[in-house]
Chain A
Amino acid sequence: MPEVKNRQAVTGAQAVANAMRQINPDVVAAYPITPQTPIVEYFAQYVADGLADTEMIPVESEHSAMSAVVGAAASGARAMTATAANGLALMHEIVYIAASLRLPIVMPVANRALSGPINIHCDHSDAMAERDSGWIQLWAENAQEAYDFTLMAIKIGEHEDVRLPVMVNLDGFIISHGVEVVDFIDDEAAKKFVGKPIVKYPLLDLNNPVTYGPLDLYDYYFEHKRQQIEAMKHVKHVFKQVAKEFEKISGRKYDIIEKYKTDDAEYIMIALGSTAGTIKYTVDLLREEGHKVGLVKPWVFRPFPKEELQEILNGRKAVIVLDRAASFGAEAPLYEAVKSALYEAAVRPQIGSYVYGLGGRDIKVEDIRKAFEDAFEGNLIADEERYLGLRE
């Protein structure tokens, strides 16, 4: 395990901004939106202080931020931005274009509820609205993971077999503003890890002129979408490869999904983001009481870890899926995907859907315990959506 030289108590936003400083991208175009604001503020400070020689473009909206970043990435620059909630929604059109043009942009997202009514707190509805946009989605549980994934995302997105943009999701306020201890990799090792940008089809290569974003009608559009589908299939092996490299410099081990006390678990809970921490704590409490419980946390949500979940969930007594987003008129996004993955499991567990924490509503140990207890009692109904922390 490499020696920890630089351990600091920082906010998640600071941790992510520090990763951006170490990456030292060519271009960052961003517009401040709560709770992403401090990420860009810290980073702008680094640029102002000469600690990063990034071309910083303060734009008038997120639509412009993503547009500028797409232009920069197409030109051959390593380009980044960061956003949240309505900012991400305003980018929506260009979010698809970034993926469709195969530009390996990295964007931390401080997950927040989408309006309306207006709410600035943590919720996953912003990222879920982009889940089919063709971006890779990594989900961090804490500031450490947000920092680590920001570095790893560069290498995953730029990989020859992938060439896709990457969203690094960190829960708004909970991670972005909460102070935690983070082990930073030293600058040289981080810079060496991310390496020089791997550029493909740069617009500024005047000797090899290319056209970006031409009309692509029924004669080729379908073929280009098929290429994107293929690129997503390559993400898992590239992620594992990058994770292995990252482990060498950090001592921290990542995989497609994190398994917490799942070896002998009969009841497994699945959740994204910071709530996984609260679930781990609850799992420990329930284990002390003799319950065989565990947690599975997808680190990668797009591409969806279908095979990994099928393998680990097959034959368990029950699976409880927690979603911090609703899908109106359908099942909650994570639940829907997990349920679909289990269709072909040899021994299908009981399964239950719990929506929690919308708009920053607190999720407590008692709430998580309640969901587990429903499972212990055999009281899970696959087609019933339940709510944690909601007043009846």
Chain B
Amino acid sequence: MPELKGWKEVPIGGIIDKPATAKEYKTGTWRVIRPVHQIENCIHCMMCWLYCPDQAIVIEIVDGKPKMKGYNYDYCKGCGLCANVCPKTNDKLPVDKRAIIMKPETEFQE
């Protein structure tokens, strides 16, 4: 979250007076489960990228093709949609064969 301003500082009427301010709104603070990318199992099909509601999937173009590079955890709110649509992630696959695994956020807390 950006630092909160007082009532004298913000534009009237809740008006947002410049574009792309949603970037400042870090939905990652909401996350309770975290998707973890296991790149060795990923076929880079881009389903996760297509479905992610927060544009939190990090992509790199390599030789003209998109490659899934992991997550921007500032914006990933842990909805799990990516794991749900991932063709390399399902209940039948053992955990070490999945491309995306969901882990409790508590495991990452220091």
Contact = CB atoms under 8 A, between A and B. Distances in A.
Question: Is chain A's interface secondary structure helix, strand, loop, or mixed overall?
Answer: loop
Interface stretch (A35-43, A208-216, A275-283): A208-216
A155 interface: no
Contacts of A208: 17
B12 to A, nearest CB: 5
B18 interface: yes
B12 A102 contact: yes
Contact of B15 (A210, A221, A230, A231): A210
Contact of B7 (A101, A213, A227): A227
B17 A214 contact: no
Interface in A201-248: 201, 208-214, 216, 219-224, 226-227, 230-231
B11 interface: yes
A208 B11 CA distance: 14
Nearest to B16: A211
Contacts of A230: 7
Contacts of A209: 18-19
Interface string B1-35: 10011110011111111110000000000000000
Contacts of A201: 11, 13, 15, 17
B17 A216 contact: no
Contacts of B1: 219
B15 A211 contact: yes
A216 B4 CA distance: 13
B73 to A, nearest CB: 21
B7 A226 contact: yes
Nearest to B2: A219
A212 B15 contact: yes
Contact-size category for A: 20 to 34
B13 to A, nearest CB: 4
Given A209-B18, A209-B19, A219 B4 contact: yes
Contact of A102 (B4, B5, B13): B13
A227 B15 contact: no
A226 B14 CA distance: 12
Nearest to B19: A209
Nearest to B1: A219
A165 to B, nearest CB: 11
A100 B19 contact: no
Nearest to B17: A210
Contacts of B15: 101-102, 201, 210-212
B7 A223 contact: yes
Nearest to A103: B13
A163 interface: yes
A220 to B, nearest CB: 6
Contacts of A224: 7, 10, 12-14
Interface in A89-117: 100-103
Contacts of B4: 219-220
B14 A214 contact: yes
A223 B6 contact: yes
Contact of A100 (B5, B7, B14, B17): B14
A227 B6 CA distance: 10
B17 A227 contact: no
A148 to B, nearest CB: 28
Contacts of B16: 210-211, 214
26 contacts: A101-B13, A102-B15, A103-B13, A163-B12, A163-B13, A200-B12, A201-B15, A201-B17, A210-B15, A210-B17, A211-B15, A211-B16, A212-B13, A213-B14, A214-B14, A219-B1, A219-B4, A220-B4, A220-B10, A220-B14, A223-B5, A224-B7, A224-B10, A224-B12, A224-B14, A227-B7
What 5 A-B pairs come out closest when comparing CB atoms? A102-B13, A223-B7, A211-B16, A226-B7, A216-B14
Given A226-B7, A227-B12, 18 more contacts: A100-B14, A101-B15, A102-B12, A102-B15, A163-B12, A163-B13, A209-B18, A210-B16, A210-B17, A211-B16, A219-B1, A219-B4, A223-B7, A224-B12, A224-B13, A227-B7, A227-B13, A230-B7
